[in-house]
Amino acid sequence: MGILLKNVQKVYKSGDVEVQALKNVSLTLPEGTISVILGPSGSGKSTLLNVIGGIDRANGGEVHIFDQAIHEFNDDQLTEYRRKYVGFIFQSYNLIPTLTVYENVEVGAEISESPLPIDEVLKGVGMYDKKDKFPQQLSGGEQQRVAIARALVKNPRLLLCDEPTGALDEETGKTILRLLQDVHRQFGTTILIITHNQGISAMAHWVVKMKSGELVECAKNEHPIDAEKVNWV
Ligand X SMILES: Nc1ncnc2c1ncn2[C@@H]1O[C@H](COP(=O)(O)OP(=O)(O)OP(=O)(O)O)[C@@H](O)[C@H]1O
Q: Given the rule CB under 6 A, which residues bind ligand X?
A: 12, 14, 19, 21, 39, 41-47
Closest separation between CB of residue 119 and ligand X, Å? 35
State which amino acid sits at residue 14.
S
**Most distant CA pair in the chain, distance:** 53
Closest separation between CB of residue 14 and ligand X, Å? 5
Is the CB of 1 or the CB of 19 nearer to ligand X? 19
Is the CB of 42 or the CB of 199 nearer to ligand X? 42
Would you report the helix, strand and coil content of the chain in percent, each value rounded to 5? 35, 30, 35
Closest separation between CB of residue 116 and ligand X, Å? 30
Is the CB of 21 or the CB of 160 nearer to ligand X? 21
Q: What angle do CA 19, 24, 27 make, to 5 degrees?
A: 125
φ/ψ (deg, to 5) at 170: -55, -50
Alpha helices in 87-226 (DSSP H): 101-110, 118-124, 140-152, 170-187
Closest separation between CB of residue 207 and ligand X, Å? 15
Closest separation between CB of residue 126 and ligand X, Å? 28
Closest separation between CB of residue 37 and ligand X, Å? 8
**C-alpha–C-alpha distance, residues 147 and 125, integer Å:** 10
Is the CB of 109 or the CB of 160 nearer to ligand X? 160
**C-alpha–C-alpha distance, residues 173 and 91, integer Å:** 11
Which of 224, 211, 223 is CA-nearest to residue 177? 224
Which of 47, 104, 54, 61 is CA-nearest to residue 80? 54
Cα distance from N-terminal residue to C-terminal residue, the chain: 32
Is the CB of 12 or the CB of 232 nearer to ligand X? 12
Is the CB of 32 or the CB of 42 nearer to ligand X? 42
CA atoms within 13 A on the CB side of 32: 5
Closest separation between CB of residue 46 and ligand X, Å? 3
Is the CB of 14 or the CB of 98 nearer to ligand X? 14
